[in-house]
Amino acid sequence: MNYELEFKESALKEWRKLDNSIRELFKKRLAERLVSPRVESSRLTGLPDCYKIKLRDAGYRLIYQICDKLVLVTVIAVGKRENNLVYRNAKERV
């Protein structure tokens, strides 16, 4: 069963600011996660039902939250890992 994808408004603004090549890499990974979103190695502690997608070479992270009742994956933050900013943004938005 495939999950639907949505973006929080603030995450969508961050998404639009990304370089096209970074967006394409995230799109491929998101497509995989919509089929199977719960990857235990990517689970975030302290944020309920939240997981991350890492682009190690580029240094970017995408944080998403899963809602099983609605069969929905919501992107809540996108950005560089520097200073843990993307994780702090995600924590504020959950």
Indicate if the alpha-carbon torsion angle 27, 9, 6, 63 is positive or negative. positive
Q: How many of the other CB atoms lie within 10 Å of CB of 15?
A: 17
* Catalytic one of 8, 33, 52, 61: 52
Is 16 an annotated catalytic residue? no
Q: How far apart are CA 46 and CA 37, in angstroms?
A: 18
Is 27 an annotated catalytic residue? no
* Catalytic one of 13, 29, 56, 81: 81
Query: In one letter, which amino acid is 75?
Result: V
Hey, which residues are catalytic here?
52, 81
